[in-house]
Amino acid sequence: IVFGDWSSDVCSSDLKTISVHLTPPDYTGWTPYDANKQIRALAGTRAEFRGAATKPLASAELLLDDARAIAGALVGPAEFQAPRADAAPFLLERSGAYSLALVDRQGISNLESERGEIRIIPDAPPSASLEQPADSLFVTPRGTVPLRVTAKDDLAVAAIDLVFQPADQDGEKPQRVTIYRGPPRPPPQAAFSPAPAMPPVEYRWDLASLGLARGAIVVLHVEARDYAGAVGRSASRRLVVVGAEE
């Protein structure tokens, strides 16, 4: 990835080339990739800068527009990396601009370093929709309720839970049944490739084990969870328990 040659001063050491290696968060399943000076990355991506100057260097620093400075290390006479190999990883968390401060062995710095941009893409939570039942439903104490759930995420859905509780226990901890569980990790894929469509999840909920009495009302919804732990919730439905003869 080439920035080009700068010549703010014939005596200064200017940036000749730079590459930015990006490693997405582990939970994404995305493979590492290289970016140009306009960086587009998911929040939490690890960034490693490598570059070369036009003259031998004494030091190199990565400067961020929030006033942070990340020390670089020289890996050759005119080559550098940032952050240093023994430093904490540089994780991209916010959008902004950056530049590189290079000082050559004569102590002359590049005062007009070109700026690059960092654009952080947030990982949005998943969405979940309870398609069936589409509305409140009358049920019998030993009946079976067919559920049909659609969910989607910009990466992948890790799990879907059925969440329910009697209406007269509002405020208490609801019960949960996992009706879909994805693999431990999403399959590897290129960064920012379209997420594969997830087919609807169907589940037959047997009410017999709940011991519901006639007249009881059960409130339920479904929750989809992604691999980062973010949760999306559907609208609620109500089950009204009636006698078998009703």
pLDDT digits (tens, 9 = 90+) for 70-93: 999 999 999 999 999 999 999 999
**pLDDT, tens digit, for every residue of 33-43?**
999 889 999 99
Reported as a pLDDT band with limits 50, 70 and 90, residue 113 is low
Mean pLDDT of 107-130: 87
What per-residue confidence (pLDDT) applies to 5? 40
Distance CA(7)–CA(220), nearest Å, equals 66
Residue 13 has pLDDT above 70, yes or no: no
Reported as a pLDDT band with limits 50, 70 and 90, residue 3 is very low
Q: What percent of the chain has pLDDT over 70?
A: 92
pTM of the model: 0.82
CB 237 within 8 A of CB 133: yes
CA atoms within 13 Å, Cβ hemisphere of 29: 19
Please state, in angstroms and as integers, the Cα–Cα distance from residue 10 to each residue in 30, 91, 110, 113, following that order. Answer: 43, 35, 10, 14
What per-residue confidence (pLDDT) applies to 108? 85
Q: Which amino acid is at 46?
A: R
Reported as a pLDDT band with limits 50, 70 and 90, residue 230 is very high
What per-residue confidence (pLDDT) applies to 124? 93
